[in-house]
């Protein structure tokens, strides 16, 4: 690939972002924002999908599939270095996906308790 100004700019922005995310408080804030976004997404999805009550099984099957794929991706063994038998630090986007999934599952559980009472 050629080194154009655009590719250089994107590489520099990626490097600056990775340096910015070294601070643990910034990582925690991004994970917390992902958790809250997952909660918001699930509550809004439950409200939208519950109105028509036609696609409930399709939406629930899709949500289970997405949650299982996210769990498989986050908790797979490929983030371990087999030669050193130690864990390699996970990228921040994996932590954000996992916290989004946890927030969504928590919100759907709360919605189920609200509907059951």
Q: Which domain holds residue 71?
A: 24-116
Confidence at residue 92, expressed as pLDDT on a 0 to 100 scale:
84
CB within 8 A of 107, min separation 6: which ones? 38, 39, 40, 41, 42, 43, 46
Please, which pLDDT band fits residue 40 given cuts at 50, 70 and 90? Answer: very high
Q: Are strands 80-81 and 86-87 parallel, antiparallel or unpaired?
A: antiparallel
Q: What's the predicted TM-score (pTM) here?
A: 0.78
Average pLDDT score over residue span 98-108: 93
CB within 8 A of 98, min separation 6: which ones? 70, 71, 74
Number of domains in the chain: 1
Residue 9, in any domain of the structure: no
Residue 71, in any domain of the structure: yes
Residue 108, in any domain of the structure: yes
Residue 55, in any domain of the structure: yes
Residue 7, in any domain of the structure: no
Is residue 78 over pLDDT 90? no
Half-sphere exposure of 71 (CA within 13 A, CB side): 9
Q: 31 burial class (0-12, 13-18, 19+ CB within 10 angstroms)?
A: middle
Interval 5-29: pLDDT, tens: 998 999 899 888 888 888 888 889 9
Torsion angle in degrees (nearest 10) through CA of 108, 62, 79, 28: -30
Residue 17, in any domain of the structure: no
Question: Can you tell me whether residue 84 is helix, strand or coil?
Answer: coil
Residue 48, in any domain of the structure: yes
Residue 85, in any domain of the structure: yes
Is residue 54 over pLDDT 90? no
């Amino acid at each position: 690939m050629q080194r154009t100004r655009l590719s250089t700019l994107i590489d520099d922005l990626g490097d600056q972002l990775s340096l910015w995310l070294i601070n643990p408080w910034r990582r925690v804030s991004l994970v917390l924002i992902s958790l809250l976004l997952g909660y918001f997404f699930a509550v809004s999805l439950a409200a939208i999908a519950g109105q028509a009550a036609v696609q409930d099984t399709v939406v629930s099957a899709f949500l289970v599939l997405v949650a299982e794929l996210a769990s498989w991706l986050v908790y797979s063994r490929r983030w371990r270095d087999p030669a050193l038998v130690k864990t390699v630090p996970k990228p921040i986007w994996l932590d954000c996906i996992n916290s989004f999934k946890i927030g969504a599952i928590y919100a759907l559980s709360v919605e189920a308790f609200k509907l059951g009472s």
